[in-house]
Structures are given as structure tokens and as C-alpha cells.
Amino acid sequence: SLKTVVLGTGSYLPERVVTNDDLSKIVETSDEWIVQRTGIRERHIAAEGETTGDLAVAAAMQAMEAAGVTAADIDLVILATSTPDNTFPSTATQVQARLGITRGAAFDLQAVCSGFVYALTTADSMLQTGVATRALVIGSETFSRIVDWTDRTTCVLFGDGAGAFVVEARADADNPEGRGVVSCHLRSDGRHKDKLYVDGGPSSTGTVGHLRMEGREVYKFAVAAVTDVIEDAFAATGESAETIDWFVPHQANRRIIEGSARKLGIAPEKTVLTVDRHGNTSAASIPLAVDTAVRDGRIREGHMVLLEAMGGGFTWGAVLVRW
């Protein structure tokens, strides 16, 4: 059989850093309120004219360099985003072109904050069935463009950024260590639309719209949903809070992350936290956090890594990877 092995990771954050104090000049808020409720201290915001595609290209180039591959080696690009450059064509095809990739397929995938977990699961399926052999899986977002900057209950939560994995289909004979994606678990329940959505779009209003959220409702659902799908992942694989080396959750809110980890019995030192410096970057948050932990030497070959996310839809899911 074939396993989906991670060859390299990369990430990119826009230059401009916006602190909580900076935000307190735009809306009535404070560093103390934001840190206490969310753990967020600062976030990066894209420059005028800097797009999701630009961020994605930078992250992808870094991932390809880390993986030691060139454009000719890639035959699949999946870009998870809810903030594409254009309604069409997909941002993925434009990233493909800018990277000089001329074969295979490229498409966008939209599952909001669960986008990267959905994209990695999709890539894993396509590599295992021989549809493609080497893929770029990217999460890239510019939520600053859809946030309502007059709404203090949401605008303080989000940031812009991108992260990417290069993954390769590897036969068991070439993979004695058993590296690669172990198990994928996706869930969605569309009945929860009203709790987290954008109030616009091409077919409804003809406008881009703004993000709307009932934060407390999302919070309540998040901890329960995330622990439930991780328990399914543990049950399916025999892995557990004790056997995993790293827990890399979607970075929405420090309290959601710590609440889920506590319920699952995952030790705090196994949790990778970047929400303090990145804010919630939606589909980009997991590959950004993974790349941070790979580059600072925490995540290493052989480690068992648990990725998990929950977002609009609602959508949620978990992926276990032997690094």
C-alpha cells in the first residue's frame, strides 16, 4: 500500500504586525480583554494588494525548498481557503502557475478553519489511489478582508498567513519506518450555519460580505466536537493522549485548545500554541503552527503528530501523522 509522507513544510506571515493595543485605537477593546478571553497578543495583517495567493506562493516555495523538490516534481496543488483572490479561477491554479508547475491538477478547497485538515485528507486519498504522486497542500487566508473592522466581538480574533506541506506517496517497501498519514476523520453539520458565516457571496448578495459569529455558541460546540472526533481517531488507530508526541490544533482560541487538551488528557507540553502571535488564521493556522514546531526542532522524524480543527459549517476533523 501507499502512505502519504510529509517531505517538508513552509509558512509565510505578512510583515505588518498588529498588536492588541493597536486594535484598541480602532474599536473599544483592550489588551487585557483580548489576552484573557483568547490568548491572542498580536496578529499579522496583509499589506494593501497582498493577496491569499501571494501568501500561498511564499509558503509553498519554502515548503518545496525544505522538501528538496522542484516544480517538476509536483502533480497536485490543493489550496484550502475561504478568502480566494477571485471568485474564479481558483487561487490554486494561479499559485500553480506562479510556482512553474505545469502538470497534474490544482484546485481550491473550502472548509473554513477545517480547510487544512480537509485538504490533507483529500490529498491523502488522491495519493493512495494513484491519482497523483506528489502534492502541495496549502492553507492560506486573508481574513482581514472579510472581517467587520467595526465589530469588536470578531475583528480582534483573526489574522492573515499561509502554511504548506509537500507530501509524497510512498510504497511500504521504501518506507520501513512506517512514516506518513495514519488516519483521517472528517465531520460536518450544516445545521449550524447561523453561528458562523459570511453575510455575502456571489450567488446570494453579489458582495463579498463580512464574517458574523455567535462566539459563545461556537465555543461551546468546539470543545465537544473536537474531543469527540479525536476520540474517534484514537479508537481507530490505538493511539492515545500518552502515545502522541505533538498536538497541533487549529489556533482559534487558547481556551478552546487548553479545554480540549485537558478533556482528552493531553499534556500541556505536547500542545503547539501559536495563537498568541498569529491570531486565528483559519485554514492556515495548522500548517503555520506545524512549520513553527518543525523549524524550532520540536517536531522530528518518527514523531506521532495529531492535527485537529473546527470551523464554519460547522466542519471539523482530525488527522494523525507519523512524521
Catalytic residues: 113, 250, 280
Judged by CB under 6 A, which stretch of 51-59, 95-103, 211-219, 224-232 contacts ligand ACO? Answer: 211-219
Q: Which of residues 279-298 bind ligand ACO (CB under 6 A)?
A: 280, 282
Distance CA(112)–CA(233), nearest Å, equals 21
- How many Å apart are CA 195 and CA 174, to the nearest integer? 46
The yes or no reply on residue 188 touching ligand ACO (CB under 6 A) is: no
**The residue to which cell 501571494 is assigned:** 54
Sign of CA dihedral 53, 113, 233, 268: positive
Kindly indicate which of the ranges 40-48, 57-65, 148-156, 235-243 contains the residues binding ligand ACO, using the contact rule CB under 6 A.
148-156
Query: Out of 16, 215, 277, 304, which residue is the one contacting ligand ACO (CB under 6 A)?
Result: 215
Residue from 122, 253, 260, 271 that binds ligand ACO (CB under 6 A)?
253
By CB under 6 A, is residue 146 in contact with ligand ACO? no
**Which residue is at the shortest CB distance from ligand ACO?**
215
Q: Does residue 113 bind ligand ACO (CB under 6 A)? A: yes
Residue from 33, 209, 228, 259 touching ligand ACO (CB under 6 A): that is 33
Distances (CA, A) of 96 to 164, 209, 248, 285, 312: 13, 27, 27, 21, 27
| Measured distance CA(5)–CA(322) in Å, rounded | 8
Count of residues that interact with ligand ACO, criterion CB under 6 A? 24
The one among 119, 167, 218, 233 contacting ligand ACO by CB under 6 A: 218
Rounded distance, CA 193 to CA 300, Å?
38
Q: Are 219 and 241 in contact (CB under 8 A)?
A: no
Distance of CA 75 to the CA centre of its chain: 21
Distance CA 208, CA 201 (A): 5
269 residue type, one letter: E
Cis preceding linkage at 89, omega within 30: yes
* Residue 110 touches ligand ACO, criterion: CB under 6 A: no
How many CB atoms sit inside 10 A of residue 269's CB? Answer: 8
103 lines the binding site for ligand ACO (CB under 6 A):
no
Choose which of 7, 156, 167, 184 interacts with ligand ACO (CB under 6 A): 156
- The one-letter code for the residue type at 195 is K
Judged by beta carbon, residue 73 or residue 151, the one nearer ligand ACO is: 151
Footprint of ligand ACO on this chain (CB under 6 A)?
Answer: 29, 33-34, 37-38, 112-113, 152-153, 156, 196, 213, 215-216, 218-219, 252-253, 256, 280, 282, 310-312
